[in-house]
Amino acid sequence: MGATVPGEASAEGAPARSFLTTISSALAPVTGVVRSLEIDTRMLGMIGALIVIWVSFNIVSGGTFLTARNLWNLSVQSASIAIMATGMVLVIVSRNIDLSVGSMLGFLGYTMAMFQAVWIPQSLGLGFEQPFTWVLTLVIGIALGAAIGGLQGFIVAYGGVPSFIVTLGGLLVWRGLIFRYAQGQTIAPLDTTFQMLGGGTVGTRVGALGEWPSWTLGVVMCVAIVYVMISSRRRRRRYAFPVRAIWAELLVGAVTCGAVLGIVLVANSYPLPVNVAIQYAEEHGIAIPPGGLFIPTGVAFPVVIMLIVTLVVTFLATRRRFGRYVYAIGGNPDAAALAGINVRRTIMLTFALMGSLAAVSAAVQTARLNAAVTNLGVQNELDVISAAVIGGTSFSGGIGTVPGAILGAVVMQSLRSGMVLLLVDSPTQDIVVGIVLVAAVGLDAVVRRRVN
Amino acid sequence: MLIQKPAMPGVAPQRVPIVELRNIHVAFGGVRAVAGVTLDLYPGEVVGVVGGNGAGKTTLMRTLSGARPPDSGQIFVNGQPVTIGNPRDAKALGIETIYQTLALADNLDAPANVFLGREVTSAATLNDAAMESATRKVIGRLNPNFKNFKTPVLRLSGGQRQAVAIARAIHFNARALIMDEPTAALGPAETAQVHALIRQLKSEGIGIFLVSHDIHDVFDLSERISVMYHGKLVGTVNKNDVTTDEVLGMIILGKPPTKLTQQELAELHG
Ligand SMILES: Nc1ncnc2c1ncn2[C@@H]1O[C@H](COP(=O)(O)OP(=O)(O)OP(=O)(O)O)[C@@H](O)[C@H]1O
Ligand SMILES: [Mg+2]
């Protein structure tokens, strides 16, 4: 470039610049709208990317991608990664990493399976299929997850060992423990109520909300969204701060509620499998109509669990001191310490939270399989970290959102499930996902450099 | 000529200092960053702390902030011996600090930084609106043109960032303020604003340690000047009793004015 004649440079440079200016001036009204909507542009870009992926797969697959059946399955497959990704956001935001989540998941899933299939019924002699089995198993699993995650966090925060090393060790240790104690055995079957957490069916019991509870959930969520929007607007009003234009407020509210109700609609458009439906009809004395029986499945329990986890972790991250401290530590650890924040304790807690979320995902995955297998959760850490990173979490710390990570998980799972539909083999899937991961982060870096 | 204890007109000698540092030692490995320094600070007084790069000014001030407790030595607040083991202890005693590095969380906005570690909550959740409102008031005192209350401080100018750091120190009713080069990044107008602020805080009875390399600012604002040289205190002088050249001599040569020769003073301008 240094040797270029000035005349040439301007001849090449000018059209390029005017092209860019044309684009940015054409986009001016759009950026204006985005600004008054006050939405994270990164989030908007991800939603755009997701729509492009969905529509492309739908066209290429001849219309099989955007079906209720496929989307329902997609939602269930995304759930267990998304659940852990919410915690991984906080871990990465505070400038750490947890490579052990897949192994923790395997270890916790195995322990929970032992608990309900061996220890409660046999060792304690309480028998199988107790009504409390699933809750007890879940609570103990989550507590154990928090304990082993917290232990790793303790070594990171108080021992001063880098989290990469501690959790790399954890990855080996927790997996090794499973092999040592399971000795290759699969533990099955699990408690039937527990199995519901995985979204599958057992006889006529279905791991989903069903039609009306799903609608109720959707409406409750919409009311909550509107309530939060109104109350935060009121609060800003009370202090005479600038607020969003009313049309922007309405648009954001309508789109968000529309998306929620749309998800419910899709879940309710997915019928129960024929044999389950027939058995259900017989048990409940429902006459089978001539056109066949259509019983809506509704929102799957793994998705319900994911929604609850999302709400809880988002609340912790944005409305509580804990979350504020996690972000402050990620932005500037020294400043956080000088502000009087207990940095060590906060970091330990992020790892404990991560461990308990690994337990929740372990419950979902073992319940879905109706078994604990020794390789449960293998390589999940890669999917979870990728979801967080595609969702905008930055490795330099301090940046990342929980909803972003959820979207990241859905984007990744969409790619995988779309490729499965197109009969792409698994090595090729890995290649594509790997490239998308790097491209997404690279593109983001370029855009950020432009903006700043 | 050399004043060891304050005996200035207007300040009654029997008043109790807000802060007293006695025989403070700090070493980093073999480096004796602060070696036996004794300083005090009275209400409504500005004490300039000067010295060359690496003289130990920041390290001394950080013992008082709780950022790095001293290896030995005592700290008295209002005449009572205290232990300042961490920044929270210092803040609880009414000692606030504007750090040389500002110590801001770059990814958070101004209100989050001002209230970092002391968030306003209602019903156990962060009350961002209340914090923003208070931040608007306190920053308005420093820089009326400040508008970016919702942007990460990373995207603010150096002077705006400094305003955030100052706002954080003055919002919580400090009794003693440590300002480690508070105007290093400021333009002339903003510097004037900070000077006005220092005078106002002084009139409110707050004691201020002002660390600065600008000898004229120090002469302008402070009553007494403490000079450090290689971790030791050269001396504390009443500014009315010395010339800027004499203070320069103390900074550069590490000798009290009485021991400076005319030749040495002349060479300072060489
Ligand atoms: N964290 C640390 N670890 C090791 N040595 C340190 C540390 N902080 C300061 N020092 C050393 O202590 C001495 C005093 O440093 P200090 O920062 O207190 O100087 P200063 O007077 O504030 O200098 P400046 O005018 O450049 O800000 C220096 O020799 C420095 O190298
Ligand atoms: Mg310094």
Complex confidence, ipTM = 0.89
- Could you give the CA distance from residue B156 to residue B150 in angstroms, rounded to a whole number? 11
Q: Structural domain tally of chain B? A: 1
Predicted pLDDT at A10: 41
Cross-strand bridge partners of residue B210: B48, B179
Specify burial of residue B28 (Cβ count, 10 A radius: 0-12, 13-18, 19+): exposed
Residue B6 lies in a domain: no
- Could you give the CA distance from residue B142 to residue B132 in angstroms, rounded to a whole number? 15
Which residue among A332, A340, A452 places its CB closest to the CB of B87?
A340
Contact indicator for B57, B251 with CB cutoff of 8 Å: no
Angle value at C-alpha B121, between B120 and B125, nearest 5 degrees: 140
| CATH code at position B76 | 3.40.50.300
Residue B158 lies in a domain: yes
Query: How far is the alpha carbon of B174 from chain A, nearest alpha carbon, in Å?
Result: 15
Is the model's pTM score more than 0.80? Answer: yes
Q: Establish how many alpha carbons lie within 13 A of residue A36's alpha carbon, considering only the half-sphere containing its beta carbon.
A: 12
Residue B134 lies in a domain: yes
Q: Which residue has the tokens 């791991």?
A: A207
Work out the pLDDT band at B261, boundaries 50, 70, 90: confident
Predicted pLDDT at A8: 39
Pairing of strands B207-211, B46-51: parallel
Average pLDDT score, chain B: 89
Output phi, psi for A364, to 5 deg.
Answer: -60, -45
Residues of A in contact with B155 (CB under 8 A): 452
Q: Whose CA is closest to A66, among A78, A76, A56?
A: A56
Ligand nearest to the CA of B232: 1
More confident residue, A107 or B249: A107
Structural domain including B171 reads 19-267
- Could you give the CA distance from residue B190 to residue B181 in angstroms, rounded to a whole number? 14
Residue B11 lies in a domain: no
- Could you give the CA distance from residue B253 to residue B265 in angstroms, rounded to a whole number? 10
In chain B, the N- to C-terminal Cα span, in Å, equals 25
Residue B185 lies in a domain: yes
For B112-147, write each residue's pLDDT tens digit. 999 999 999 988 899 999 999 999 999 988 888 888
Amino acid at A23: I
Predicted pLDDT at A240: 84
Predicted pLDDT at B189: 84
Residue B241 lies in a domain: yes
Tally Cβ neighbours within 10 Å of residue A274: 11
Residue B3 lies in a domain: no
For B185-225, write each residue's pLDDT tens digit. 788 888 888 899 899 999 999 999 999 999 999 999 999 99
Query: Mean pLDDT per 10-residue run, chain A (452 residues)?
Result: 39 50 63 68 85 95 93 94 98 97 97 90 81 92 98 97 97 94 86 91 88 95 92 87 86 91 94 86 81 88 95 95 97 96 97 98 96 92 94 91 94 93 91 89 77 58
The two tokens of residue B177 are 């303020």
Residue B9 lies in a domain: no
Query: How many contacts does A have with B, using Cβ atoms within 8 A?
Result: 79
Query: How far is the alpha carbon of A106 from chain B, nearest alpha carbon, in Å?
Result: 35
Pairing of strands A201-202, B31-41: unpaired
Which residue among A236, A315, A324 places its CB closest to the CB of B112?
A324
Residues of A in contact with B162 (CB under 8 A): none
